[in-house]
Amino acid sequence: MNSALPVPLRLARREMRTGLGRFGVFLACLALGVGLISAVGSLSASVESGIRRDAKSLLGGDLSVSRPFLPIKNDELDFLRSQGRVSHIATMRAMAFAMNDSGTAEEQAAPNSSTDAPADTPDSSNLPGKTALTEIKAVDKAYPLAGTVLLTPDMSLAQALAPLAPRQNSDTTVYGAAVDPALSDKLGLPKNPVGRSIRVGNAIFRINALIRREPDRSASLFTLGPRLLITLDALNATGLVMPGSLVRHWARLDMPHTAGSQSPDVLAKELENRFPTAGWRVRTFTQASPRVRTFTERMNTFLTFVGLAALLIAGVGMGRGVDSYLRSKMQHIAVMKCLGSSTATVFAAYLSQVMAIALVGSLLGAIIGGTAPIFAASAIQAFFPSMDASLHLLPMLQAVGFGLATALAFSLPPLTRAAHTSPAQLFRGYTDHTRPTPANALSGQTTFWERQWKNPRAARLFSIACGVVLLTGYALLVTPSARLTLWFCLASAASMLVFTLSGQGLRRVSRIFRPKGSPRLALALRSLDRPGSSAVRVMLALGLGLTALVAVNLVTSNFHREVAVGMAERTPSYFFIDIQNNQVVPFRQTVLAVPGVTDIEQSPMIRGRIMRIKGKPAVVEDIPPSHRWVLRGDRGLTYAADVPPNSRVVAGKWWPKDYSGPPLISLTRDIAEALGIGLGDTLTINILGRETTAPVVNYREVQWDSLRMNFSIVFAPGFLEDAPLSHIAAVYADPKAEAPLLEKVSRQFPNVSSINMREVLNTVTSVLGNISLAVRLIAYTALFAGVLVLSGSLRAGLESRLRDAAVMRVLGASPMDVLLSLVYENLLLGAAAAITATILGTLAAWGIISGMLGATFHPLPAVTLPTALAGMALTLATGMAGMFRVLRRKPMAALRNE
C-alpha cells in the first residue's frame, strides 16, 4: 500500500514518525487564528441563516408596502387583496402615561378643562404617574399573517387587545393592550403590570399581557421606546393621528403559493408600475431585516480582519518553526541529495509535512470556532432573536482555507531554501543557502523558469511573491469587501515590512552603540546582534498583536470620547416631535417659561422619498453602499429662508430670503456626490403621494457632530408651507430642569412625543461598550497569539542561549550579570516593538476615525501608553520564562561536547 504513494509522500510519512513536537506552539497559534475567523464567520452565518429561515415572519408576509403620513388607499388595498390576504398596520411614537391606583380607569379617563391647553389638544392634567416614550403598533384582526405573537399570560392576541365593556352609566371605552416588559419599568409599574392602566393621548388602555415574542419585529441593538401593541380603532381613539403626525402605514401581503402564481418579486415590480406615484416602499421577504444584514456584514468584515491579524502572527510563528525544523534536518536533506533526490522531491516531501500539520491545526481551530454560535446563542439571541444556533460548514471551510493559505505562504521561503541544500553539507559541515549558483552552471538546455528554480535566491524571492499573491487572492475571494480587503493586505504587508526593518535597525544600532559604563547593557546589545538574534522575530510576533490592540483601543476610546463625553456636552436634553402648527407658539412659550431652559430650536418637517435622479428612476444599487440609505426609505424634509446654522454653502448660491418662485433644493455635498447630482440637475421627490421635481441649486457642508438640528434636503420657501407639516424641537436645559420640563410639556401637549437624549446616549454608549468589549477580546487573542509565537521562537533558540550563558559564566560573569543582561535585552526588544506598534496602531486608528468615518481623531496617550507598557512587560515575562533554566545549568554541561 505504501509503495503506491508518490516518493515525496513516502518520505514525508517517514519523517513524521519521529514526531514534530516543536510545532506544538505554532499549531496552537494557527488553531487560534483559524478559530477566530471561524467563530466570526459562523456567528454571522447564524444570524443570516435565521433571517432567511424566518424571513416571511420578520417581514410579516411575502410582501410589504409602507408609506409615511398617508394611509394605504382603498384602491391600493383592493389590488393587494386580489393577490392574497392583507393586514393593515400603523406605527408611530407617542408618550404613555401611568395611571394611579385611585379610582377606576373610566373615572381617570374623564377629561378635565385646562385653560393652558391649546385648541384641539387632548388634556392630560389629571395624569399623576410617570411618562415614557413608546413605539405604538396598531394592528387589524388579520395580524399577524406569518408567525405567532407570544404573550404572557398565555392568550390570543385578539383576547389581549379586546376592549373592556363600558361600566354602567359610562360611555368611556377602555382598550386592551399588550406591552413590552420594558415599558412597565419606564412607567414605574410593578414587574407584572397586567391589570394596570395607562393613558396614551385621549385613550385609556388596560395592560392585558406582556409581549414575549413579536414575529415581525426586526432585530435591533436599541430602540427609542418599548412596544405598545393595540388595535387600529384604539389608535384612532387616542386623537394622536393628525395632519403631519409621524405615522407610518403598512400593508402586508400573504400570497397563495400555488402553481402558476406569480412570485413576490414580480408583484413588487407590478406594484411600482401600477402605482408609480404611491410613494411607498415595497419589500419582499427576500429583503427582510436589511439593517441587521448590513450590521452583521460590517461587523463580520471588521472582526475577520482582526482575526486575520492573529492568523498573520501565527504565520510568522509557523515560518519560524518550519525554518528551525528544516535547519535541524540539513544533514538528512544532504543525504537525500547524495542518494539522488532532486530539489523538487525534497521540496515536495517537506511541504507535505508542513501542510499536513497545518491541516490538523486548521481543522481543530475551525471546529472550535464553528461551535461559537451554539455556546453564545443565549447572549446573542437577545439582540437577534432569529439567530440559527447551529454549525455552518461554509465559514468553517473558509477559515480552514485561511489557515492553509497562511501556513503555505509563510512556509514557502524556508522550504525553498532547504530544498536547495547542497550535498557538500556532509563534507564541510556548513553551506551558504543564499549564495546564487553561477550563471554558467545554469545555462544549457533549460527553460527560463527552470533556471530560476535552480537559482536559490531567485527561487526564494519567487516563493515570497507566491505567498503574498496566495494570501491576498484568497482574502479577496472570500471576504465581502474587496476594497477593504485590499487595504488590509497592503497595511499588513507594510506593517510587517516596518517591523522587519525596525528589528534590523535595532540590530544595527546595537552594533554601533557600545556603552562603556554598563557592561551588562553592553552584553545585552551584543546579544541583539549575535547570529540567530530574535530581534526581527520578536518585532513581528509581538508587534502585529500590539498594533491591532493599540488601533482597537484608540478607535473604541475615540468613539467613547465622542459619544459619552463630547456628545453629552453638545446634545439637547430632549427632542420633541409631532408638534402641530397651532401648537408652535404656545409650545415655545411653555418651554421657555421653565426655569433652567437655555435654548430651543424649532423646525417644520415632512417626509418624502426620492423617486428619480436627473429624470431617471432612482436605483439603490447604482450608488455607493455608504449612501444607499438615502434611497431605501423616506427622508426628512424642511424649508428655510436662511442658511441653516452649523452648515455652509460650498457650491452654488443660496436663494434670497424673500424667495417665492418654483421649488428649489439645497443638498448636502456628500449626498450630491453619491447620487451624481450636479448643480442644476433635478431630484423628483414623492411627498404625500405627490411627485415634485426641483433643481439642486447649491451644496452644503453640515457639521453633524454639532448635534444641532439640520436636514440633508432643504427646500426654498414658498412650496412646503401649505403641506400638513409637523414641527420638531430641540430643547437645551440644565439637568435639574429636565424633569420639570418633561412634566410640563407632557401635561400641556400630550400629543407631543419626547425623546430623552440622555437615555439615548446611555443606550448608545452601552451598545458601543458591548461591541468594544467583543472587539477588544479578539484583539487580546491576537496579542496572545503573538506571545505564543514569541515563546516558541525563544524556546527554539534556547540551546544557543544555554551555550552563550555558559561561556559568559566561564569568562567570569556572575549569574546576576547574566540575568540582568537578559533583562536588558528583553526590555530593549519590548520597547522597540511597543514604540513601533504604538506608531503604527495610532496611524491605523487615525485612518479609520478621520478617513473612513470623518470624525475628529484624538491620540489619547492615556490609552496608548499602558498598551505599550503592557507589551514591554509581556516581552520581558515571556523572554525570561525559560531563562532560569539557563542560569541553573552548569557551564560544563553545555560545553562538554565543544
- In angstroms and rounded to an integer, the radius of gyration of the C-alpha atoms of the chain is 35
Indicate the DSSP class of residue 610.
E
Domain residues for the domain of 636 are: 597-733
Contacts of 66 (CB under 8 A, 6+ apart): 248, 249, 250, 251, 280, 281
What's the confidence (pLDDT) of residue 229? Answer: 94
Contact 321, 796 (CB under 8 A): yes
Contact 795, 25 (CB under 8 A): yes
Burial zone of 394 (CB within 10 Å; 0-12 exposed, 13-18 middle, 19+ buried): exposed
Alpha helices in 329-392 (DSSP H): 330-338, 343-370, 372-375, 377-380
SS3 letters across 628-688: CHHHHCCEEEEECCCCCCCEEEEEECCCCCCCCCCCCEEEEHHHHHHHCCCCCCEEEEEEC
Q: Are residues 420 and 545 in the same domain?
A: no
In the predicted model, what is the mean pLDDT of residues 613-638? Answer: 84
Quote the cell numbers at residue 788: 505564543
Indicate the DSSP class of residue 165.
P
In the predicted model, what is the mean pLDDT of residues 94-98? Answer: 88
Q: Are residues 45 and 74 in the same domain?
A: no
Contacts of 417 (CB under 8 A, 6+ apart): 323, 326, 433, 434, 456, 460
pLDDT band at 550 (very low <50, low <70, confident <90, very high): confident
Q: Are residues 396 and 513 in the same domain?
A: no
Rounded CA-CA distance 155/600 in Å is: 46
Residue 490 lies in a domain: no
Q: Are residues 99 and 233 in the same domain?
A: yes
Contacts of 765 (CB under 8 A, 6+ apart): 560, 563, 564
Quote the cell numbers at residue 32: 487560534
Short-list 146, 216, 212, 147, CA closest to 178:
212
Torsion-angle region of 646 (φ positive above 0: left; ψ -120 to 50: alpha; else: beta): left
pLDDT band at 693 (very low <50, low <70, confident <90, very high): very high
Q: Is the dihedral of CA 197, 201, 203, 205 positive or negative?
A: negative
Residue 578 lies in a domain: no
CA separation, residue 203 to residues 101, 109, 875 (Å) = 17, 7, 68
Residue 382 lies in a domain: yes
Contact 880, 524 (CB under 8 A): no
Q: Are residues 128 and 232 in the same domain?
A: yes
What type of residue sits at position 790?
Answer: L
Q: Are residues 555 and 670 in the same domain?
A: no
Final residue belonging to a domain, choices 718, 733, 748: 733
Q: Reduced to 3 states, what is the DSSP secondary structure of residue 377? A: helix
In the predicted model, what is the mean pLDDT of residues 179-201? Answer: 88
- Which tops the pLDDT comparison, 776 or 752? 752
Quote the cell numbers at residue 781: 487573542
Contact 13, 2 (CB under 8 A): yes
Torsion-angle region of 15 (φ positive above 0: left; ψ -120 to 50: alpha; else: beta): alpha
Contact 542, 875 (CB under 8 A): yes
Contact 31, 365 (CB under 8 A): yes
Q: Are residues 75 and 49 in the same domain?
A: no
How far from chain centre, in Å, is Cα 288?
19
Q: Reduced to 3 states, what is the DSSP secondary structure of residue 234? A: helix
Q: Reduced to 3 states, what is the DSSP secondary structure of residue 141? A: coil
Residue 493 lies in a domain: no
Short-list 441, 499, 86, CA closest to 253:
86
- Which tops the pLDDT comparison, 106 or 379? 379
pLDDT band at 118 (very low <50, low <70, confident <90, very high): very low
β-bridge partners, 151: 211
Instruction: Report residue 226: phi and psi, to 5°.
Output: -70, 160
- In the block, cell 384582526 appears at 141
pLDDT band at 549 (very low <50, low <70, confident <90, very high): confident
What's the confidence (pLDDT) of residue 696? Answer: 94
Short-list 368, 302, 359, CA closest to 548:
302
Contact 790, 538 (CB under 8 A): yes
Quote the cell numbers at residue 684: 423628483
pLDDT in tens, 119-132: 344 444 444 468 88
What type of residue sits at position 31?
Answer: A
Instruction: Report residue 409: phi and psi, to 5°.
Output: -60, -40
What's the confidence (pLDDT) of residue 805? Answer: 65
Residue 223 lies in a domain: yes
Average pLDDT, the chain: 77
- Which tops the pLDDT comparison, 868 or 4? 868
Pairing of strands 726-733, 597-613: antiparallel
Short-list 238, 194, 267, CA closest to 90:
238
Most confident of the following: 388-392, 440-444, 711-715: 711-715
- Which tops the pLDDT comparison, 24 or 714? 714
Indicate the DSSP class of residue 164.
B
Indicate the DSSP class of residue 212.
E
Asked whether residue 590 carries a pLDDT value surpassing 60, the answer given is yes
Rounded CA-CA distance 164/157 in Å is: 14
Quote the cell numbers at residue 404: 492553509
Length of the chain: 898
Contact 547, 83 (CB under 8 A): no
What's the confidence (pLDDT) of residue 445? Answer: 45
Contact 245, 728 (CB under 8 A): no
Contact 695, 680 (CB under 8 A): yes
Rounded CA-CA distance 664/437 in Å is: 75
Q: Reduced to 3 states, what is the DSSP secondary structure of residue 254? A: strand
Indicate the DSSP class of residue 704.
G
Contact 688, 606 (CB under 8 A): yes
What's the confidence (pLDDT) of residue 105? Answer: 41
Q: How far separated are the first and last CA of the chain, in Å rounded?
A: 45
Q: Are residues 855 and 711 in the same domain?
A: no
- Which tops the pLDDT comparison, 177 or 41? 177
Rounded CA-CA distance 215/58 in Å is: 6
pLDDT in tens, 376-419: 777 666 666 667 778 888 889 988 998 888 888 888 888 887 77
Rounded CA-CA distance 369/373 in Å is: 9
Quote the cell numbers at residue 553: 483601543
β-bridge partners, 197: 206
- Which tops the pLDDT comparison, 424 or 747? 747
Pairing of strands 647-652, 726-733: unpaired
pLDDT in tens, 289-320: 666 666 666 666 666 776 777 777 777 767 76
How far from chain centre, in Å, is Cα 121?
44
Rounded CA-CA distance 807/820 in Å is: 16
* pTM value surpassing 0.85: no
Residue 743 lies in a domain: no
Alpha helices in 153-231 (DSSP H): 157-161, 181-186
β-bridge partners, 66: 250, 281
Rounded CA-CA distance 865/554 in Å is: 11
Residue 43 lies in a domain: yes
Q: Are residues 609 and 522 in the same domain?
A: no
Residue 250 lies in a domain: yes
Final residue belonging to a domain, choices 480, 507, 526: 480
Q: Are residues 199 and 80 in the same domain?
A: yes
Instruction: Say what percent of the chain tops pLDDT 70.
Output: 73
Please tell me the least confidently modeled range out of 153-157, 180-184, 544-548, 655-659: 544-548
Contact 226, 707 (CB under 8 A): no
Q: Are residues 560 and 626 in the same domain?
A: no
* Relative orientation angle of helices 535-560 and 861-881, to the nearest 10 degrees: 150
What type of residue sits at position 54?
Answer: D
Number of folded domains that form the chain: 4
Q: Reduced to 3 states, what is the DSSP secondary structure of residue 689? A: coil
Asked whether residue 215 carries a pLDDT value surpassing 50, the answer given is yes
Asked whether residue 200 carries a pLDDT value surpassing 80, the answer given is yes
Q: Are residues 245 and 373 in the same domain?
A: no
What are the start-end ranges of the E strands in 502-596?
Answer: 574-579
Q: Which helix (H) or strand (E) holds 176?
A: strand 174-179
